[in-house]
């Protein structure tokens, strides 16, 4: 019975992993819709940021790579969006979107490691990466 149980558990685990890996990756267009729904109030429709009520400034999201020596910091951007980067930016400035980012997991390459990531979060990442300014 132990071997049968192990085989069944392994089969379930592999099926779950295959479901994650076989999912089509979200593209920038899917992320653009989420950005328009959740981010434009502060970052603007062109993602160029600007002054917020109270004198705070929303950063220009088209210059993320430029501010990081030409590298788009995927892990850092994911952390900022989903709220895991707490403490670096006040929730009064950047709301935590973790609760909005539930859903199917898709594999996202983070520093050479495929990381299961909620599809909406991966879509936002794809969109933000696609709008980086060419001037580095």
Residue with tokens 């109030």: 41
Distance of alpha carbon 75 from alpha carbon 79, whole angstroms: 6
**Superfamily the domain 26-130 falls into:** Cytochrome c-like domain (1.10.760.10)
More confident residue, 126 or 81: 126
102 touches 117 (CB < 8 A): no
Backbone angles phi, psi at 75, to 5 degrees: -60, -45
Over residues 13-44, the pLDDT tens digits come to: 444 444 444 458 899 999 999 999 989 989 99
pLDDT tens digits along 64-98: 999 999 999 999 998 888 775 555 555 556 776 76
Tokens of 63: 């210059």
**Spans of all domains in the chain:** 26-130
Q: Are 106 and 36 in contact (CB under 8 A)?
A: no
pLDDT band of residue 102 (cuts 50, 70, 90) is confident
Per-residue model confidence (pLDDT) at position 70: 94
């Amino acid at each position: 019975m132990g071997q049968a149980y192990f085989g069944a558990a392994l089969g379930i685990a592999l099926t779950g992993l295959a479901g994650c890996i076989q999912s089509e990756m979200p593209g920038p267009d899917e992320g653009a819709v989420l950005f328009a729904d959740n981010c434009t109030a502060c970052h603007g429709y062109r993602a160029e940021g600007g002054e917020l009520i109270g004198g705070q400034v929303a950063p220009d999201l088209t210059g993320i790579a430029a501010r990081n020596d030409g590298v788009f910091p995927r892990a850092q951007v994911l952390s900022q969006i989903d709220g895991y980067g707490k403490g670096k930016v006040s929730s009064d400035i950047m709301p935590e979107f973790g609760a909005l980012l539930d859903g199917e997991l898709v594999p996202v390459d983070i520093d050479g490691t495929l990381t299961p990531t909620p599809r909406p979060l991966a879509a936002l990442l794809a969109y933000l990466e696609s709008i980086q300014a060419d001037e580095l």
